[in-house]
Amino acid sequence: MKNPTTKVSYDPDADVLAFAGAVRGRIDHARELGNFVVHFTKDDRPLLIEVLEASKVFGNSPKPLGKIANPVFV
């Protein structure tokens, strides 16, 4: 069995940290929960999680967000 991977990216201009999971599919809808936006497939499988105002959410992080957002976590 393959290990699922999560791709993490950070857009400093928008201050958005994004986590894209290994689930494949087309985004059908999204739900906003505070500073989090979760994008789902038609059958409610989460595909993408975005953290809005990420520098505020992770403000006490010892590393800059650009360094946290490695290309791929396994």
68 or 45: which carries more pLDDT confidence? 45
Q: Which amino acid is at 42?
A: K
Q: 3-state class of 51 per DSSP? A: strand
Task: Say what the pLDDT of residue 57 is.
Answer: 86
How do residues 13-67 score in pLDDT, each as one tens digit? Answer: 999 999 998 778 999 999 999 999 999 999 999 999 999 999 888 876 655 655 6
Rounded Cα–Cα distance for residues 29 and 58 (Å): 26
pLDDT at residue number 21: 82
What's the predicted TM-score (pTM) here? Answer: 0.74
Looking at residue 4, what is its pLDDT?
62
Supply the pLDDT for residue 16.
92
CA 70 – CA 40 distance, rounded (Å): 23
The Cα–Cα gap between 35 and 53 comes to 7
Determine contact, residues 20/6, Cβ cutoff 8 Å: yes
